[in-house]
Chains A and B, each alone.
Chain A
Amino acid sequence: MAAEVIPRRPTLLFIVVLSLLFVLMSLSSRTRYIGDTRTLFERTVMTLFSPVPKAVNWAGGSAEDMYHGYLDMRRAVNENLELRRKVASLTTENVKLRQTDSDLRRLRNLLQYSEQFNMQTSMAHTIMIDTSGRFKAVIIDRGSGDGVEVNDAIVNANGLIGRVILTTNDLAKVQLVTDNNSAIGALIERTRRQGVVRGDGTGIVEMHDIPTLADVKPGDRILTAGIDGIYPKGIPIGNVIKAEQGPNLFKHIEVRPSVDFGTIEEVIVIHTRKIPTEVVRYAP
């Protein structure tokens, strides 16, 4: 009966529903500001439909997390690229600084060394090195135009390199101490025994004219004696590596040069005081 009446009287239903809703609202507005404001009916509706907002919140939160994760990843990737660029740049800078530092140290040593000499000196760079053949030579970038003369001594911070044997206006050829034709007046630092150091073309030099009874031991330092009119006194030539009885009255002494000729870069040219030709002519 009621089921038949309601469809035919929707306006009546409408009024009843509105009245009920008005009562519901009145109750709700009365309890709105005190304690547990939610009525049982309201809580039921909320419970029924609560999965929807929960799912939305979960999906929203997940999407937000994913988005932030993606942003963080992008940021990390960019940061990584930036750091890689920085590392590359700093590595290059580091290499340059190390090179500069090494150059500085080498040049400082060279400068201190050149101050030892009371003769005029000048700096030069090697532009060619030939230590492979029997004739050992280097070419430096200073020539007669810069005051370089034949027989000027060439040294670096480690010791004696050789002497100038040929000059052009802007280049000079240097004969190394290891050259077959090189001969240097030398002395043993410990005992002050003098002799002659000659190159043998193999990279090792030999000291001659040291008597069999002379006190020479491996490790002794050999210096220039300053008696040949070319090399100033006291420049390190090398260290004795072998000292043994020779075939005659002299010892056979092998000396390892103190300069590594494969690594020569900057050198000092010592403008040696030349012995006047008149003096040479009347020399014994």
Chain B
Amino acid sequence: MRWLRFIIGLLIALTLHSLLDSFFPNALAFFDPYIILVVYYSMGGNVLGAIVAGVMAGLVQDAFSGAIFGLHAFSLTVCAYIVAYINSRLMLRGTLAFGANLGGAVIVNELVIYILVNILLRQRIEMFEQGLIVKMIFTTLFGMLVYQLLAILFREEPIEATKRAAGW
């Protein structure tokens, strides 16, 4: 069931990606639907599942963007791992907790991308700090809204906590 939800979420994220690409080409610089999905899934606390989700979502994002193939997969996997690891210990729940996780994940994601682009392509990302702040704000707000809507829609906590503890 969780994987089905993830696949549906991934298709929705890809649809959003395509829509934004078609009608608002610059919007993806300020908003990332894939990271919302990955954080949402990783907050279940299943580290293994989170890694797989991060890789899958990242690869799909890479396949349909102009980035180096694997770049977003790498960064999203890092984010998924961190979020899943924290949630396996703290069991954070609620819209605000989701927003905090998401905001942090966006910062980590952007930092990882920044470092990888520097290493692999020896390029600097222009206006990185401004882009990071805007992306964090918009993605977090949108993610919280989606979380709240899902909570209303399913009338329960959208994140299914896993019973499985993360190993270290």
Binding site for B on A (CB under 8 A): 6-11, 13-14, 17-18, 21-22, 24-26, 28-29, 32, 38-39, 41-42, 45-46, 49, 52-53, 55-57, 60
B78 at interface, CB cutoff 8 A? yes
Rank and list the top 7 A-B pairs by shortest CB-CB distance, nearest first. A56-B18, A24-B70, A25-B70, A10-B47, A28-B69, A53-B18, A45-B63
Q: Which residues of A contact B15 (CB under 8 A)?
A: 52, 55-56
Per the bound structure, the CA–CA distance linking A38 and B14 in Å amounts to 19
Stretch at the interface among B91-99, B135-143, B149-157, B160-168: B160-168
Query: What is the interface of chain B mostly: helix, strand, loop, or mixed?
Result: helix
Supplied contacts A10-B51, A29-B121, 7 more A-B pairs, CB within 8 Å:
A11-B168, A14-B81, A17-B51, A17-B55, A17-B77, A28-B69, A56-B22
User: Which residues of chain A come closer than 8 Å to B108, judged between CB atoms?
Assistant: none
Residues of B within 8 A of A22 (CB): 70, 74
- Quick check: is B23 within 8 A (CB to CB) of the other chain? yes
B-side interface residues, number (CB < 8 Å): 35
Chain A residues with Cβ below 8 Å from B64 are 46, 49, 53
Q: Which of A8, A18, A39, A60 contacts B77 (CB 8 A)?
A: A18
Is A25 touching B18 in the complex (CB atoms < 8 A)? no
Closest to B116 in A: A25
Contact partner of A28 (CB less than 8 A), chosen from B47, B70, B164, B167, is B70
From 8 to 37 in chain B, residues with beta carbon under 8 angstroms from any chain A beta carbon are 11, 14-15, 17-19, 21-23
Taking a contact as CB atoms under 8 Å apart, the answer to whether A7 and B69 are in contact is: no
- Give the distance in Å from the alpha carbon of A13 to the alpha carbon of B167 in the complex: 11
For B21, B81, B116, the residue with the greatest tally of chain A CB atoms inside 10 Å of its CB is: B81
Give chain B interface residues in 63-111, CB to chain A under 8 Å: 63-64, 68-71, 73-74, 77-78, 81
State in angstroms the CA–CA spacing of A52 and B14 once bound together: 7
Which residues of the other chain, B, contact A39 by a CB distance below 8 angstroms? 69
What residues of chain B have their CB less than 8 Å away from a CB belonging to chain A?
A: 11, 14-15, 17-19, 21-23, 47-48, 51, 55, 58-60, 62-64, 68-71, 73-74, 77-78, 81, 116, 120-121, 164, 166-168
Once the chains bind, are A57 and B51 in contact (CB under 8 Å)? no
Known contacts A17-B51, A56-B18: does B120 contact A25 (CB below 8 Å)?
yes
CA distance A28 to B55 in the complex (A): 16
In the bound complex, what is the Cα–Cα distance between A18 and B78 (angstroms)?
Answer: 8
- A14 contacts across to B, CB distance below 8 A: 47, 51, 77, 81
Chain B proximity of A240: nearest CB distance (Å): 88
B120 touching A42 by the CB < 8 A rule? no
**Which of A11, A25, A42 sits near B63, CB closer than 8 Å?**
A42
Which A residues touch B60, using CB under 8 A? 45, 49
Measured between alpha carbons, how far is A18 from B164 in the docked complex, in Å? 23
How long is the Cα–Cα vector from A161 to B104 in the complex, in angstroms?
A: 107
Which residues from chain B contact A49 at a C-beta distance below 8 Å? 11, 14, 60, 63-64
